[in-house]
Each structure stands twice: as C-alpha cells, then as structure tokens.
Chain A
Amino acid sequence: MAGIVVKGRFPRRRIVQTVAVNVFRYLFRGAARNWFRNMGSTAPALGSMTLLLLLSGLIGLSGLALYNLEKVEAGQASLLHVYIKDGATTTDVDVLWDRLARDPRVATVYYTTKAEALKRAQHIPGLPQIASATDANPFPASLDVQAKNIDDVAAIDTMVRNDIAVDPAYPTSYDQGAYQRIQAVLFGVGVAGLAFLVLLGFVAVTVTMNSIRAAIHSRRDEVTIMQLVGAPRWMVRGPFVVEGAITGGLAGAAAGLVTFALAMTGITAGAATFAQFAPGITVAVAAIAATIVLAAGLGLGSGSSLISVRRHLES
C-alpha cells in the first residue's frame, strides 16, 4: 500500500529539555563527579581560598567599621570649641558670635555656658576627677562652631584666637594635625589590609590554578578523546571551570558562614561596646557581607579555573 511519510516536527519543548539534560550532564554532573574524585588535590585550594575569603570578610567588616569611625572623628574634628575668657563682656561675646554666624564657612554656632561645660565634662572619662578637685568650675564657657568643611577649621581658629572675648591661654580646641594623624593611621591600616588581601588573593588564585592544572593533566587522555570526537570547546573547558566554581563556592559558603557567625557573636555579646568599636555593623550588614563573600568565592574559583584552562588546555 502506497503512502506518504510525513516527517513531523520534533516538539520544541522536548528539544529544549533534551539539550538542558545533556548540558547538565556534560557540564555540571561531570564536574561534580570529577571534583569528588580529585578532592585530595583540591583540598589545598579549598583551604587557602576559605582562609582568604574569611579574612576578606572580616577585613571588609573592619574596614566598614573604621570608615564609620572616621566619619564620627571627622564630625568631631570639624567642631571647634572657642573658649571664652572669664570676665569677657556679653557684648564682646555677642560680637564674636555674630561674626562667626555670618561667616560662610560656618554651619552653626552654639553657646555653651560654664555649667553646661561642667555637665558635659562629667561624661568624659578622666574629667570628673578634675571637676571635683576644686570648688570652682574650671571649665570655661565656649562658642561651639561647626565648620561646613573640616579644612576650614584652621582658618576659623586663626580668625578667632586673638579676639578680645577669647581666652588667650587656651583660645580654642583646635589641635593641628590631630585629624590628619587619625586619617594617616586609618589610611595605613587600609593599605596594609588591602596589601594583605592582595597577597592572599594571589596565593589562593595560584593554588586554585595549580589544582585545576593538576586536574587537566590527570584527565589529559579524556580531554583528548573528547576533543577528537568533536566536543565543542565549552564542553571540554566548562567542567573545569565549574569544578573551580564548586571549590570557590564551598570556600565562600564556609567563610561567609564564619564571618556572619563572628559578627553575630560580637553584636550579641556586647551590644553597647560593639556599637562603639564597630559602628554600623548590624545583622543586615553581616548578612550582606556573608553573601558578598560567597559570591566572591564563586567568582574567584571559576575565574582562576578559567585562567588555568586557557593557559594549560590547548584546543
């Protein structure tokens, strides 16, 4: 019986499903199997990357805390106390106050009486003893000048220190270089932390690259056969990159968890003290840091594997 053979189109959904299954098999399942097989040679990379990421997370959180501390210090450094001479007339003080208030470099001016100065001093460590050592109030009244820009504090100090209302012995709270010293210390700490991280990063990338190189050499025959039967480049290289991503992901997950746990321990152990030493470090910030550490692990692992594959796996 004669007939017509109708060649039906293969359903698109089935094709997509088949391609997905094959990609998963050759890229991810193969990589996971090989990762377990090569766990011994991967262990050093996993260890060094975990250490790097953990330190990165902790240094990152410390950096954020230092940055917030620096902002607090900058706020304090831009506040200039202009000490009023005992016996200065109200008119002289008012004239100085007006001068300062009209100055475009000044944000606000606030008058602190001797009584307020004493009250404030009692909250500052060491000063209550000075206050109680004498019957008289040793703390002067002051005009507290908030400069708009920290760089203008020196000029404002020069402008007011010879004023008739100002104490000639201790004219202002201005300490030339105090803020710069803080900045220098923070900059030094930042540079040292960054250099340490770069060094650790270099070690982690090198160790990971070498572990992938070892994996390539141990599977050279398999790679050759895959290439000879016509496997596309991504199918040959991909599993090695995924292997690196697995290493980096596991290291990132471990380091992220430890970072989060340490931050949480700090936050819950001494909330008040911790907020002073590490301002801005909250549960949300710790969680974000842990996520970034995990993402960095994935990126570092797959990136260093990619470099190694490009270098050691010829087409």
Chain B
Amino acid sequence: MHLALQPGELTFLVGPSGAGKTTLLKLINREIRPTRGEVWVDGIAAHALKASRVADLRRRVGVVFQDYKLLPRLTAMENVALALQVGDLRVSDQEASERALDALDAVGLGDRGGAFPHQLSGGQQQRVALARAVVAQPPLLIADEPTGNLDLETSWEMMDLFGDIAAFGTAVLIATHNVEIVKRLQRRVITLVHGRLVRDQPAGQTGRLAWLASS
C-alpha cells in the first residue's frame, strides 16, 4: 500500500478484524519492524531505525489505545507530565505540571489532575490518555479503537477532541470499527482488507455512495 497523511488531516482507518489496522499503527510507531517497504514519520525512516533510536520516533507520535494504558500509580497530571519529561529531561517539574494541567484542561479534565486512574471513568481515562498523547505536541497522533470501551455520547466527545487536535495541524489517524462515527464525521477514510489498502475515500465523500469516489 502507499499512504501519506497530511498535517491537520483527520483520517479513519477501517476494515474487518484482521485487516491489518493495528499492524499498520504498530508499524508507524515502530512497535514492529516492516519486513519490506518504507515507513516515514516526520522525516524519520521508521523502517530503518535502530532500536536505540526508536524513542526519538515515538516522541513524534502520540498514541491513544483502547485500554488507555495509564500508569495506575500516577495521578492524571503525573501521567501526562511523564510523557513530557521522558521525552525531554530539561523540562522541570513546574513546567511539566503546568503544561500537563493545560492539556488536561483542554480535554475537559482541568479539575481532575490529582485523580488516580482508578478514580476516573473510562471516558475520563481516555481523555487523560489523549492529553498525554498530545501534550508534547507531536506532528502525528494515532489511535487504536479509542472509543472501543466508551459509550456513544463519550465517543462523540472524544471525536470532537480528535477533530480539534487535527484543526491545530496535527495529522490524526484513528483505527475504528465505529461505522456511525465514520459516516457522520465525513473525514478521509482508508479501508484495509487482508493487509491491503482497498479504498481511500477523501473527506466529504464517505456517505452511502462513497464507493463512487473510491480510488
């Protein structure tokens, strides 16, 4: 497949189970290494990256998971600040706290910075995960089934946040099974089947007759 994401573009990655959505996200984040082909992220050749340099790539890619992956022993604010400080040791505690609280405020959790993950609902935990993913302002944000564990209302709130993030210039790629969201948001949709890109529908052409515009 050949796929390029532009800054500020929100793209959905869809396809049946086993189509390769998660694999593609893992290739982008260098959780797995491609056996052939090339993956470029913000000028970095992810496919050829040495293990010792993978962290450099991951600082340029914010990641949101279905199961949030928050550290249970840290508060929401500390979880977000962690992403800042592990990426740049020059960030002081005060600066990290301020920026983390800003990011939490942006996702509507400015007053829950001191809460531990187990004290938050699923939707709130996912928002903390989103704040953590974007606090260092990465050029790319990838999300693997971010609404998989959320109710519909919370899912829409999350999608609004993803849209806002894209509006500020971040390329956002969301793997999802949620057809309702994909149809209503009218964003670019990439369809994978058996590891192949079978359809790339531009934004605004994802309605019932979208296949007419498919590549």
State the A residues within 8 Å of B (CB): 10, 14-15, 18-19, 21-23, 26, 221-222, 224-233, 235, 315
Q: Is the CB of A229 within 8 A of B82?
A: yes
Partner of A15, one of B54, B71, B85, B90: B90
List the B side residues contacting A21 at CB < 8 Å: 92-93
List the A side residues contacting B92 at CB < 8 Å: 14, 18, 21
Q: Is the CB of B51 within 8 A of A230?
A: no
Size of interface on B: residues with Cβ below 8 Å to A: 25
List the A side residues contacting B52 at CB < 8 Å: 233, 315
Among A26, A221, A230: residue with most chain B CB under 10 A:
A230
Q: Is the CB of B86 within 8 A of A230?
A: yes
List the B side residues contacting A229 at CB < 8 Å: 58, 63, 82-83, 86-87, 132
Among B29, B90, B91: residue with most chain A CB under 10 A:
B90
List the A side residues contacting B93 at CB < 8 Å: 21
In whole Å, how far is B171's beta carbon from the nearest beta carbon of chain A? 17
State the B residues within 8 Å of A (CB): 29, 31, 51-52, 54-56, 58-59, 63, 69-71, 82-83, 85-87, 89-93, 132, 136
Partner of B51, one of A10, A14, A222, A233: A233
Q: Is the CB of A230 within 8 A of B59?
A: yes
List the A side residues contacting B71 at CB < 8 Å: 222, 225
Besides the known contacts A18-B92, A229-B132, 19 further A-B residue pairs in the complex with CB atoms under 8 A apart:
A10-B90, A14-B92, A22-B91, A224-B69, A226-B86, A227-B58, A228-B29, A228-B31, A228-B63, A228-B69, A229-B63, A229-B82, A230-B56, A230-B136, A232-B55, A233-B51, A233-B55, A235-B86, A315-B51
Q: Is the CB of A225 within 8 A of B54?
A: no
In whole Å, how far is A117's beta carbon from the nearest beta carbon of chain B? 76
